[in-house]
Amino acid sequence: MAEVRIEQLAARIHRGLDPVYLLAGEEPLLIEEALDALRARARADGFCEREVLHADGSFDWKRLGDAAASLSLFSARRLIELRLPGGRPGRDGAAALREYADRPPEDTVLVVICGRLEPAQRKSAWAKALAAGGVMSYAWPLRREQLPAWTLERARQRRLMLDDAAIAVITERNEGNLLALAQEIDKLALLADGDRVSAAEARDAVADGARYAVFDLPEAVLAGDVGRTLRIARRLRAEGEEPVLVLWGLARDLRVLAELQGCARRRADPQPVMQRHRVWNNRQGRLKALARNAPADAWAHLLARAAGVDRAVKGAERRRPWDDLIELATDAAALAAGQHQGRA
């Protein structure tokens, strides 16, 4: 299987075109830019005709075979773009894609474009066939710690000079929104006109376009990042997120931490707690450390407060649920921060 990281795809395209591509993932900007690079190389190589197919629910998959078999009136070389929005071609589509990948026609490049694919879809027979016949490239979401390097490289490509503090401002205000981050970099490149951009100038020029998911909040809490916790909670409230969902994600971790502290007090095995709450392996060490190092019953007290917030959310108590939720989250992050500092 030829699977190429999305950031390495341009270099492979530069060396020459493969007969088949599967571009999929969760970062539309990266997918579209990879597609732009493919189109540019195809034009340079004489692929002067481009045909676009939209494989929706009513799509006739015979059209793919017909497109591959038909002779072009204008060009000996052709680029076929097949957009598969749901990533589920169905039985007929899967068979058509496998058949195409097994015997790709000469002087034709097929690009199948999808959005997010589930693990089973990425391992499906049709996806494997496309990868075996050419290249599969998946655009994973950029992690928070990857954003500064991505921003610096994109700014360099646009001859924009940013100091570290300016990069921190730009990435913080556009976390979770790669398209907005790219647009802000382009805007700053025009405004700067070759001058270095400082943090103060970035704050004045860059809008706050960050997007957060519900589960970003408990991750910020466990990291002990009080400022980020507050920023995420406020943004979730501003975007109209239901407080009951936000509280659920936070309370789940508080419950695990409280139970782990109970296990430590009784000198019991913590693994049944992890299994009961289906805690991923990569989070277990961090949760154990936070439970072990916190003051006695500290997490249980926060869990009890979460129950009070839940009553406010459901209207059983006359309080401001979002205010209580934000205060709970920042207090939990402050507790976690104390444990991180204690281990430093």
The string of pLDDT tens digits covering residues 197-252 is 999 988 888 888 888 889 899 999 999 999 999 999 999 999 899 999 999 999 99
Cβ 68 vs Cβ 105: under 8 Å: yes
Helix then strand count (H, E) for the chain reads 17, 7
Q: How does DSSP assign 110-178, residue by residue?
A: EEEE-S---HHHHTSHHHHHHHHHSEEEEEPPPPGGGHHHHHHHHHHHTT-EE-HHHHHHHHHHTTT-H
The string of pLDDT tens digits covering residues 104-152 is 988 899 999 999 999 999 999 999 999 999 999 999 999 999 999 999 9
Amino acid letter for position 140: W
What is the dotted CATH code of the domain comprising 144-205?
1.10.8.60
Helix (H, G, I), strand (E, B) or coil at 240: coil
Name the CATH code of domain 6-139 (choices 3.30.870.10, 3.40.50.10800, 1.10.1740.10, 3.40.50.300). Answer: 3.40.50.300
Residues forming CATH 1.10.8.60 domain(s) in the chain: 144-205
Contacts of 344 (CB under 8 A, 6+ apart): none
Q: pTM above 0.95?
A: no
Name the CATH code of domain 216-343 (choices 3.40.50.2000, 1.20.272.10, 3.30.1370.30, 3.40.50.12280). Answer: 1.20.272.10
Q: Cα–Cα distance between 170 and 147 in angstroms, integer? A: 9
